[in-house]
């Protein structure tokens, strides 16, 4: 029996802080509105030298070190991002170069579900002979949000989280998962231009079609449903119930989505990990930023059942149940 365990982890956020007061001074919005509707107080914003690869590499270097490994021990790098370094080459090439990696690498774009998708892919690759797979969720959302759009600019932040996933013949690690995508809803959360469907042109830039467009209420409704249904399926697949879950770590998009989903699942607030107030929505980085904060401050203990659940553009969704702790 070969299972997939998190054996090292790390996070990185840029130094720059953007508070609700900063936004209040520039946009037609208020601290009270943002806090009540989203739960966000501030977010970290990339400086001129920060990119998705640089933040991801910082998080990944910590993860490799903590796993007691060196870069040459990594057999595969999977980077979850919807804010790639550039359209080509993939972000893993830039990130891997910063770490001195020469193993295979690829990017995976499942938006905010990306880290959970990448974790599941890593577990599958560990079954095929890889010993250590490096999973990185990294985003510079500030580079794709319209600074003049109060509906989206208030929501997003930048950051990265990384995990070394290792195989071991032991009980625990990744126990069950669910991945899904409803492609009938590609229009409710999208960047319309810059791809093969609508290549960048002077006209697309003039329209701001290189920025995120979002139908917030529609995303909200679907997000709650996706998180609840996917989490329930993953728990069922593991033969567990919500009562068994020590920590629920949902994608950090909106406090009201998190609270509603947790309530519907029957998970009380004191078993929910949330740090959206300080980081906003960091897309594929949000789940590792929340999870590893809770691990580092001692909330998540060895043996705990941890339920991860994400949703994002696509609309994608993903959930995974982990038995936290090193293989024994
Ligand atoms: N400040 C003040 N007022 C605002 C702001 C703002 N920043 N933004 C919108 N409003 C106004 C609207 O214009 C509207 O005014 P009107 O009634 O005069 O028309 C009013 O506030 C209500 O707007 P709604 O969009 O109905 O507000 P809602 O309560 O739905 O909250 C929000 C908006 C926070 C975006 C919410 O819908 C949400 O969080 N949705 C989910 C978004 C999400 O999770 N996105 C990320 C997905 S993950 C990924 O893949 C990137």
Select from 3, 94, 26 the least CA-distant residue to 56. 94
What pLDDT, on a 0 to 100 scale, did the predictor assign at position 1? Answer: 64
Q: Decide if 278 contacts 271 (C-beta within 8 A).
A: no
Using the mean position of ligand 1's atoms as its centre, give its distance from the Cα of residue 241 in Å.
33
Q: CA dihedral defined by 85, 90, 95, 96, rounded to 10 degrees?
A: -170
Q: Ligand 1 pocket test: pick from 151, 259, 309 the residue with the most ligand atoms within 8 Å of its Cβ.
A: 151
Q: Decide if 44 contacts 159 (C-beta within 8 A).
A: yes
* Distance (Å, whole) CA 54 – CA 159: 10
44-62: burial string, b at 16+ Cβ within 10 Å, e else: bbbeeebbbbbbbbbbbbb
29 lines ligand 1 (CB under 6 A): yes
* Distance (Å, whole) CA 5 – CA 152: 35
Residue 113 C-alpha from the chain's centroid: 6
Residue 98 C-alpha from the chain's centroid: 21
What pLDDT, on a 0 to 100 scale, did the predictor assign at position 328? Answer: 81
DSSP letters spanning 220-259: HHHHHHHHHHHHHHHHHHTT--GGG-SEEEE--S-HHHHH
Using the mean position of ligand 1's atoms as its centre, give its distance from the Cα of residue 327 in Å.
43
Per-residue confidence in pLDDT tens, the chain, 328 aa? 689 999 999 999 999 999 999 999 999 999 999 999 999 999 999 999 999 999 999 999 999 999 999 999 999 999 999 999 999 999 999 999 999 999 999 999 999 999 999 999 999 999 999 999 999 999 999 999 999 999 999 999 999 999 999 999 999 999 999 999 999 999 999 999 999 999 999 999 999 999 999 999 999 999 999 999 999 999 999 999 999 999 999 999 999 999 999 999 999 999 999 999 999 999 999 999 999 999 999 999 999 999 999 999 999 999 999 999 998 8
* Distance (Å, whole) CA 23 – CA 36: 15
188 lines ligand 1 (CB under 6 A): no
* Distance (Å, whole) CA 9 – CA 135: 9
* Distance (Å, whole) CA 144 – CA 73: 34
Q: Ligand 1 pocket test: pick from 216, 251, 287 the residue with the most ligand atoms within 8 Å of its Cβ.
A: 216
Which residue owns the Cα nearest ligand 1 atom 33? 216
258 lines ligand 1 (CB under 6 A): no
* Distance (Å, whole) CA 287 – CA 160: 10
152 lines ligand 1 (CB under 6 A): no
Point out which residues pair with 28 in neighbouring strands: none
Confidence (pTM): 0.97
Select from 178, 181, 220 the least CA-distant residue to 307. 178
Select from 216, 127, 124 the least CA-distant residue to 169. 127
Q: In what order do the strands lie in the sheet with 104-108?
A: 3-12, 158-168, 132-140, 76-80, 104-108
Using the mean position of ligand 1's atoms as its centre, give its distance from the Cα of residue 155 in Å.
9
220-240: burial string, b at 16+ Cβ within 10 Å, e else: bebbbbbbbbbbbbbbeebeb
Taking the CA atoms of 276, 277, 282 and 288 in sequence, report the sign of the dihedral they define. negative
Residue 130 C-alpha from the chain's centroid: 23
* Catalytic center residues: 112, 251, 281
């Amino acid at each position: 029996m070969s299972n997939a365990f998190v054996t090292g982890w790390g996070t990185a956020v840029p130094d720059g802080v953007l508070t609700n007061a900063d936004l209040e001074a520039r946009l037609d919005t208020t601290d009270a509105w943002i806090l009540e509707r989203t739960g966000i107080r501030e977010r970290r914003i990339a400086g001129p030298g920060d990119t998705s690869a640089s933040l991801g590499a910082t998080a990944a270097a910590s993860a490799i070190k903590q796993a007691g490994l060196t870069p040459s021990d990594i057999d595969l790098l999977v980077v979850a991002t919807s804010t790639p370094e550039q359209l080509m080459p993939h972000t893993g090439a830039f990130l891997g170069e910063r770490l001195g990696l020469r193993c295979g690498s690829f990017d995976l774009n499942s938006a905010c579900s990306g880290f959970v998708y990448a974790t599941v892919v890593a577990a599958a690759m560990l079954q095929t002979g890889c010993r250590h797979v490096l999973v990185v969720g990294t985003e510079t959302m500030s580079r794709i949000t319209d600074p003049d759009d109060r509906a989206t600019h208030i929501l997003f932040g930048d950051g990265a989280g990384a995990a070394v996933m290792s195989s071991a013949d032991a009980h625990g690690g990744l126990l069950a998962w669910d991945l899904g995508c409803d492609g009938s809803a590609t229009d409710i959360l999208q960047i319309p231009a810059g791809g093969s469907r609508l290549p960048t042109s002077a006209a697309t830039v003039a329209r701001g079609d290189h920025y995120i467009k979002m139908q917030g209420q529609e995303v909200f409704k679907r997000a709650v449903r996706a998180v609840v249904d996917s989490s329930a399926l993953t728990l069922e697949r593991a033969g567990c119930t919500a009562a068994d879950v020590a920590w629920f770590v949902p994608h950090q998009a909106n406090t009201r989505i998190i609270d509603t989903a947790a309530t519907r699942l029957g998970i009380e607030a004191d078993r929910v990990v949330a740090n959206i107030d300080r980081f906003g929505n960091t897309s594929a980085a949000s789940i590792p930023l929340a999870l590893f904060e809770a691990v580092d401050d001692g909330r998540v203990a060895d043996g705990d059942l941890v339920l991860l659940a994400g949703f994002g553009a696509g609309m994608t969704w993903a959930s995974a149940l982990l038995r936290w702790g090193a293989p024994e």
